[in-house]
Amino acid sequence: MKKELLLGTALVSSLGFASVAEAVTATMSGNHKTGVKGTSVDTSGSNDLISQINDNNFTVSLSETTDAGTQISSSFMLMNENSTPGDLDAGFTLTFTDGSKLDLLNAGNASDSHDISVPASAGSEGITVTTTANAPTGLNFAAGSTVYGVEFHSAADFMMDGLKMSASYSTDTGAAATQSARADGHFGIGATYVTTAGDSTVTIGGGYSEVENSITGTGLTTDEGGMHVGISAVTGDLTVAVAYADGDSVEPDGTQSTQSDANFLAAGVKYVSGDMTFNVGVKSGESQDSDTIGTQGTTTDAYDETSASVSYAVASGVTAYLGYTTQDVDDEGTRDASSSGSSWYIGANMSF
């Protein structure tokens, strides 16, 4: 722990703000989530499986403010000591006096930053897709980037009340390309608009992204990229949301990379009643694969999911979960029984 805190202090000092680095403010947060997951796949003769699920995180956030009022912040996350050491590649965020922000290094994609959150099960159940089916399972399937980038976020009420916008750019390392396609750079834009309609608060979000890829041998005919748009409405304790994405993604497929023309749709409802929260959501993704020389596929990969959960606030910072999900996957027009079936979860999360 001491080494990581010293590292954060050294990084802040390297920006030329040594006078404030010694007084850097460190805060800690984290969670311990554990439970039991049951999985039943549709493959004939397969056994139902039960497994323990753990999700343990510990985050240290570092921040300080210069005499000019600019806040400099960064963070790192530690996970289970017997596995990956944690997320240590975070960059810096500069927050200016007008409320705008600039992320430096590992900044992300501005299109992805404006995804609309669509309710779905809050549990940790699910079935791993075990084949090369490339149907998308989320809105950000075409929003790639590299860690060598920047992202600018406008202040609130940019140009008009309720509007925020972001723009991002990243570049590559200059290393030689490999057999599998990789993202060498990107640009992205995104926006979120919040307004009211009667008793409801309405949020509209959208974005566009283009990603440049490289690969040895036969080049890609289409780079990764696409758009997404979504809307959510909150009326009292009820939240309703729907979102759609369309674009091209580049996916690993055996020894080569596959270009996938895809779309994704999600819809969900959340209702809060006292200490209990009820979530219901549906997701549907489709794609048609083509090889790296642009031969368009004629069959469809598909992903369909229906999920629901009930969560209960047991005490401050302690929440119990019960979730259930059904999943259907098609690979090249044929149902993939090994990736289809149902899953349930029961567990609890303690956060601080």
pLDDT higher at 299 or 30: 30
Q: Which of 72, 97, 122 is the last residue of a domain?
A: 97
Return the minimum-mean-pLDDT range out of 95-99, 182-186, 230-234, 326-330. 182-186
Spatial contact of 329 and 340, defined as CB atoms under 8 Å apart: yes
Let me know whether 114 and 93 are in one domain: no
Please report the pLDDT score of residue 87 as a whole number.
Answer: 54
**What's the mean pLDDT in 239-258?**
80
Q: What 3-state class would DSSP assign to 142?
A: coil
**What's the mean pLDDT in 306-314?**
98
pLDDT band at 12 (very low <50, low <70, confident <90, very high): very low
Kindly give, in sequence order, each residue whose CB lies less than 8 Å from that of residue 59, ignoring residues fewer than 6 positions away.
Answer: 28, 29, 30, 75, 76, 77, 78
Please report the pLDDT score of residue 88 as a whole number.
Answer: 53
d(CA 251, CA 329): 17
Please report the pLDDT score of residue 223 as a whole number.
Answer: 74
Return the percentage of the chain with pLDDT > 90, whole number.
64
pLDDT tens figures, 82-123: 455 555 567 899 999 999 999 998 899 999 999 999 999 999
Please report the pLDDT score of residue 79 as a whole number.
Answer: 62
Let me know whether 67 and 111 are in one domain: no
Instruction: Return the CATH number at 326.
Output: 2.40.160
Kindly give, in sequence order, each residue whose CB lies less than 8 Å from that of residue 265, ignoring residues fewer than 6 positions away.
Answer: 242, 243, 244, 283, 284, 285
Let me know whether 167 and 65 are in one domain: no
Q: What 3-state class would DSSP assign to 181?
A: coil
d(CA 12, CA 104): 13
Kindly give, in sequence order, each residue whose CB lies less than 8 Å from that of residue 304, ignoring residues fewer than 6 positions away.
Answer: 282, 283, 284, 285, 327, 328, 329
Q: Judge whether 297 lies within some domain.
A: yes
pLDDT tens figures, 265-296: 999 999 999 999 999 999 999 998 775 555 66
Domain range for residue 19? 1-28+57-97
Let me know whether 88 and 235 are in one domain: no
pLDDT higher than threshold 70 for residue 40 = yes
C-beta atoms surrounding 131 within 10 Å = 14
Let me know whether 141 and 64 are in one domain: no
Let me know whether 73 and 110 are in one domain: no
Let me know whether 23 and 158 are in one domain: no
Please report the pLDDT score of residue 288 as a whole number.
Answer: 87
Q: What 3-state class would DSSP assign to 6?
A: helix
Let me know whether 67 and 104 are in one domain: no
Q: What are phi and psi of 5, to 5 degrees?
A: -65, -40
Q: Judge whether 256 lies within some domain.
A: yes
pLDDT higher than threshold 50 for residue 13 = no
Count how many domains the chain has. Answer: 2
Let me know whether 147 and 61 are in one domain: no
Please report the pLDDT score of residue 7 as a whole number.
Answer: 36
pLDDT tens figures, 202-213: 999 999 999 988
Q: Judge whether 229 lies within some domain.
A: yes
Residue (of 150, 146, 151, 142) closest to 172 by Cα position: 146
